[in-house]
């Protein structure tokens, strides 16, 4: 069912270390509006969509979100490459480092770990698609905030790509939502 293409959906080549930006970007790995939350949400919801069209769309987007998780993890890795203990402390990552070293662990920008309560699933196609559209809009807003915080084009360009994918996903969910509303679900 899944095919792993051993390349990122968008190339990432960050050359400048920026631990504070890495800390902020972590929110898209483990925050409430993160790629991880989206992927799990959509994959779980696909099983109660009323037809194959809905199930396939949710599966496709859930799978794409996994690629976005890989992008976020790559960005964090590149932004922290070669960091010293002093730089880790200065960036406010010492709590993170004490438990996880420089591994990639799903937390938000404040350091709170990912929780499954971020995954909203009701079994009602209209309610779930409404949640999905809202989730995509919230993720878009987070990417815009991250873009505003960034000052390196090597960081900004992948964030712009990810922001655009949120818009595409919103539109696809809206099309399915409108179809199901018209069908009386």
What is the structure's pLDDT at 3? Answer: 75
Cα separation of 23 and 76, whole Å?
Answer: 8
pLDDT tens sequence across 52-100: 999 999 999 999 999 999 999 999 999 999 999 999 999 999 999 999 9
Mean pLDDT, the chain, rounded, equals 96
Positive or negative: CA dihedral 57, 46, 130, 8: negative
Q: Is the pLDDT at 4 greater than 80, yes or no? A: no
pLDDT above 90: percentage of residues in the chain: 97
Q: Is the pLDDT at 135 greater than 80, yes or no? A: yes
What is the structure's pLDDT at 6? Answer: 85
CATH of region 19-183: 1.20.1260.10
In the chain, where are the structural domains located? Answer: 19-183
| Per-residue tokens: 131 | 């949640």
């Amino acid at each position: 069912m899944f095919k792993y293409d051993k390349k990122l959906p968008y190339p990432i080549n960050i050359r400048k270390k920026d631990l504070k930006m890495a800390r902020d970007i972590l929110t898209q790995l483990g925050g409430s509006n993160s790629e991880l939350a989206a992927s799990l949400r959509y994959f779980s919801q696909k099983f109660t969509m009323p037809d194959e069209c809905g199930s396939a769309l949710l599966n496709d987007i859930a799978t794409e979100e996994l690629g976005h998780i890989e992008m976020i993890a790559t960005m964090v890795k590149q932004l922290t490459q070669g960091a010293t203990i002093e730089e880790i402390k200065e960036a406010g990552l010492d709590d993170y480092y004490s438990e996880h070293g420089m591994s990639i662990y799903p937390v938000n920008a404040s350091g709170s770990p990912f929780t499954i309560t971020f995954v909203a699933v009701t079994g009602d196609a209209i309610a779930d698609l409404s949640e999905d559209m809202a989730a995509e809009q919230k993720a878009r807003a987070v990417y815009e905030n991250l873009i505003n915080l960034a000052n390196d084009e090597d960081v900004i360009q992948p964030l712009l790509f990810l922001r655009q994918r949120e818009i595409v996903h919103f539109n696809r969910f809206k099309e399915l939502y409108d179809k199901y509303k018209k069908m009386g679900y």
